[in-house]
Every structure is written in C-alpha cells, then in structure tokens.
Amino acid sequence: MSDPKPTRVEVRLPSRLGYEKVAMSTAAAVAKLMGFADDRIEDLKTAVAEACINAIEHGNRLNENLSVGVILSSEANALEVKVIDGGKGMTGQPKKPDIDRKMRGEEPARGLGMFLMQALVDEAEWVASDDGGGSYVRLVIRLDKAA
Amino acid sequence: MQSETKSYAEQATTPAGTPVTVLRFAGDIASTSREAVLGLYQAQPKQGPVLLDFTKVDYINSSGIALMIQMLIEASGVGQRVAVFGLSAHFTKVFTMVGITKYATLAATEAEALAAL
C-alpha cells in the first residue's frame, strides 16, 4: 500500500526523553504507507530517535518549555525528516566511533547518536542556526535503496 | 514515557560445565537504565563469563549502547568474556556497526551463546 502523493506530516514533541518514540512511530507509519521494507523502517526509526534525543538533550537542553519539531515530507521515492530544535546546532560531520579507543577510555562510551544517524539513512545533514533559533538535522531515506 | 528497564540475574552453565552469569533485560535500554544494566552487572560475582539476554528488550538507543560499552570495559578489566543473544536483526546490525562484536560474541539463541563461551 504505497502512497505516491507528496505528503507532509508534522509532530511537536516536548523536550522530555522518551518522547522520541512518538516521532519514531510517526516516521514508521509514514514509511510503511510509502512502501518501505521493514528493515529500512527499523533503520529510519533509530535515526529519527537519535535525532530527537540530540534535539531534546543538546539542542533544547531538556528545557520542557521548548519543543522539538519533526517534519516528515514524503515524495514518490524518498522520505525526508527534519528534526528542529532551539539550539545553535552543529557543523561538520560526525566521527566514526572507535570501539578500541572507547574500551581503553580514550574516548567517551557515549557519542554514538550522530554516527548512527549517518550510517542508517541515505543522507544526514546538520544545519546550524546563526541566531540559535531553529537548527535542524535533515535525514533522507530512499525507497530504491537496499538495506 | 520512557519505560523502565527490568533486569535480573540467573546462573547457567556452558555445555562444557563452566558457570555463567546470565543478565536478562526487558523493556527499554536508554540513559535511565544505568542501575538496571551496570548496577546489576556490578552486583554479580566476577568469576566466569557473562551472558546478556536481549530477547525481551523493545528499544535500545545510543545511550543504552553506551551503557553496554561501559559494561564491556568493566568486564574486560577483570578478564570476563561476554556474549549477547536475543537481539533483533536491526540491533545485531547496529551493535556490529559500532564495533561491539570485537569485544562480545553475538548469538541468535541462548544455547548458541552458551556454546560460544
């Protein structure tokens, strides 16, 4: 049951850990309607969860007065997810985690989220805001891409 | 909204008769799971290998994976082998991407994991 018409779905989340699951479920439902395979939907769910967790923890610093915006835009062959927060955002690309360095205590055990986003979807882009009001991460997953 | 992590420990033996501590988890493994994951591990005797059961885990995020890495660091420090079973195909892929397979054996079933230890 694929839906080829461009569609936009928006969700606003409180900056409270756990609510990333609302975005995961919404993204999964949209991807299912578009005809994505189950394994690609699992990839998308993890990437969206990590984007929302970063937005809640680092962008909005767990300030429950701020919300995280999630905009899902579907085209015929791709689903774009923007996760928007009120922080200054980041530039550059995430480093691949080095498990050996982590095991030796030379880098923190944490810091895996951005790597997972980049590894699990077809495009991951971080866009910083000059005025600190609307940084976002943009994730794209394509229908024709095998897992 | 974040569901709690349930966890408990049991004893098992490998086919060769080696005692194994089995840590069984259920629910979410996230930043709030420190006590259920690391606390449970730290409360166990450090003799023999450790087996981690993810069969009833619904959700793992990067903070939860980081807790697993911290457990692996502690296990490595005392020379304990670690095996994992019950991960979904997706989280098997994620654990492999992160490099956890260098420090823990991933198995499909408890019997396979025990045989690998």
**A40: in domain:** yes
Q: What is the pLDDT of residue A147?
A: 47
CA angle A11, A16, A22 (to 5 degrees): 35
The mean pLDDT value for B66-92 works out to 97
Which DSSP category does B102 fall into?
G
**A41: in domain:** yes
**A1: in domain:** no
Contact (Cβ atoms closer than 8 angstroms) between residue B36 and residue B7: yes
CA angle A136, B96, A22 (to 5 degrees): 40
Closest CA to A26 of A39, A38, A14, A10: A10
Contact (Cβ atoms closer than 8 angstroms) between residue B31 and residue B60: no
State the nearest Cα–Cα gap between B14 and chain A, in angstroms.
Answer: 26
**A103: in domain:** yes
Q: What is the CATH number of the domain that holds A122?
A: 3.30.565.10
CA angle A135, A138, A143 (to 5 degrees): 170
Residues of A in contact with B76 (CB under 8 A): 103
Cβ burial, residue A133 (10 Å; 0-12/13-18/19+): exposed
**A135: in domain:** yes
Q: What is the pLDDT of residue A3?
A: 58
Q: Nearest 5°: phi and psi at A9?
A: -125, 135
Which DSSP category does B32 fall into?
G
**A36: in domain:** yes
SS (H, E, C) chain A: CCCCCCEEEEEEEECCCCCHHHHHHHHHHHHHHHCCCHHHHHHHHHHHHHHHHHHHHHHCCCCCCCEEEEEEEECCCEEEEEEEECCCCCCCCCCCCCHHHHHCCCCCCCCCHHHHHHHHCCEEEEECCCCCCCEEEEEEEECCCCC
Task: Give the whole-angstrom CA distance, residue A7 versus residue A74.
Answer: 5
Q: What is the pLDDT of residue A111?
A: 87
- Compute mean pLDDT per 10 residues along chain A, 147 residues long, and list them: 79 96 97 96 98 94 94 95 90 84 92 94 91 85 74
Query: What range defines the domain where residue A47 resides?
Result: 7-142
The Cα-based distances of A17 to A20, A82, A113, B41, B80 in angstroms read: 7, 18, 14, 24, 33
Contact (Cβ atoms closer than 8 angstroms) between residue A82 and residue A124: no
Domain count, chain A: 1
The mean pLDDT value for B77-99 works out to 96
A80 pairs with which residues across the strands?
A73, A140
Contact (Cβ atoms closer than 8 angstroms) between residue A87 and residue A60: yes
Q: Domains, chain B, ranges and CATH?
A: 5-116 (3.30.750.24)
Q: What is the pLDDT of residue B111?
A: 96
Q: What is the pLDDT of residue A121?
A: 97
Q: What is the pLDDT of residue B4?
A: 87
The Cα-based distances of A110 to A64, A89, B66 in angstroms read: 23, 18, 5
Of residues A102, A113, A119, nearest to B69 (C-beta): A102
**A2: in domain:** no
pLDDT tens readout for residues B37-73? 999 999 999 989 999 999 999 999 999 999 999 999 9
Chain B, residues 61-80, CB within 8 A of chain A, namely: 61-63, 65-67, 69-70, 72-73, 76
At B105, the pLDDT band (50, 70, 90 cuts) reads: very high
Residues of B in contact with A18 (CB under 8 A): 1-3, 30
* Arithmetic mean of pLDDT over chain B: 95
Place of tokens 């005692």: B19
